[in-house]
Amino acid sequence: MFPQSISRRAFVPAAAGLAAAGCSARAPRAKSPVVILKAPSYSSNLFETMKQGAQLCRLDVRGKRVLLKPNLVEFDGQTCINTHPSVLAAAFELFQYLGAAQVMIGEGPGHRRDTMYLAEAAGYRQAVTGFDRLFVDLNLDDVTARTGFLKDSQIFLPNTALSADLIVSLPKMKTHHWAGVTLSMKNFFGLVPGAVYGWPKNPLHYAGIPKSIVELNRIFRRTFAIVDGVVGMEGNGPIQGTPKLCGVLVMGADLVAVDSTCCRIMGVDPSKVEFLRLAAKPDTDLGNLEELQIDQRGEAIGVVRKPFGLIREFAGLRLS
């Protein structure tokens, strides 16, 4: 379903090069800093909390074009599907404060076509001054083909995301009825344009959700994550679950390490989550999954751990 973009003739030397590269010794990956900070409610000073997190991560975004990517899926006033507007507003303020040349906000929801309505309903337009000017509907953005998706295929991606110097994933900490959990890596499904692939983005499901998550994260490597774990969602997420008060923000540049840390907070074993296992495999090497490879800063996991309810299909993911 994703078009092939490499000829057999081109494949042979490319494969030989990859094999040669694979023979060389791989340098051990340095520990990845991941910051856990308490954020008891959305009325707490999230900007100051994030500022502290950015300092602990030694985040430098001066002069960069930053794209904030919240998780805006669907609106239901009775539950907590989307990244909270206070988290988005605080992140926007943070990256301006840190000296980014430009801070934009972009999202391509997988379930509804009227993205601006969702942004209004979710409170984003009220939370961020000048939202309409800053926001790009990634479902309808102009696109460019990129090769390298699923190794030999091409994928069409929004120009706004491709041209950003840094994409900041701002997911909600949630369970997911197909992937087990949805965090900063899965949030990149919203970078895939609905105008090409539809609503929902079914080719990603066909290619395999775990594989698609990994491939998108392989394409978008200049990233940072701030996970909204103040109130997450447990059970039948990402839409029909129930709110779960967790009281944390989790931040870091290694999205595999951030998501693995979130899993541990949620009482989920990250090594049993397929997309994280794939992402941390030596031949993929997107980031660190093991606790020993993560430089945990801020709060200890044990202090903030709040096991999330899991649906029967994912009961086996429970951290023992």
Residues 6 or more apart whose CB falls under 8 angstroms from that of 87 comprise 42, 46, 70, 170, 226, 228, 230, 249
Do 45 and 307 touch, CB atoms closer than 8 A? no
Shortest Cβ 113–another protein spacing (Å): 6
Shortest Cβ 56–another protein spacing (Å): 38
Shortest Cβ 307–another protein spacing (Å): 21
Shortest Cβ 209–another protein spacing (Å): 13
Measured from the CB atom, the residue of 11 and 117 that comes closer to another protein is: 117
Measured from the CB atom, the residue of 97 and 206 that comes closer to another protein is: 206
Measured from the CB atom, the residue of 60 and 142 that comes closer to another protein is: 142
Phi first, then psi: give them for residue 298, nearest 5 degrees. Answer: 80, -130
Type and span of the H or E element at 33: strand 32-38
Q: Which residues bind another protein (CB under 8 A)?
A: 1, 3, 111-114, 116-118, 120-121, 137, 140-145, 156, 177, 195-200, 202-203, 205-206, 236, 240, 311, 313
CA distance 107 to 193: 9
Measured from the CB atom, the residue of 290 and 313 that comes closer to another protein is: 313
Do you know the residue count of the chain? 320
Shortest Cβ 317–another protein spacing (Å): 15
Can you list the alpha helix ranges (DSSP code H) found in the chain? 8-23, 46-57, 85-97, 115-121, 124-127, 131-134, 159-162, 194-197, 202-207, 209-219, 255-266, 274-280, 301-304
Least Cα distance to 189 among 103, 109, 254 occurs for 109
Shortest Cβ 275–another protein spacing (Å): 18
Least Cα distance to 257 among 314, 219, 217, 210 occurs for 217
Measured from the CB atom, the residue of 134 and 196 that comes closer to another protein is: 196
Measured from the CB atom, the residue of 136 and 280 that comes closer to another protein is: 136
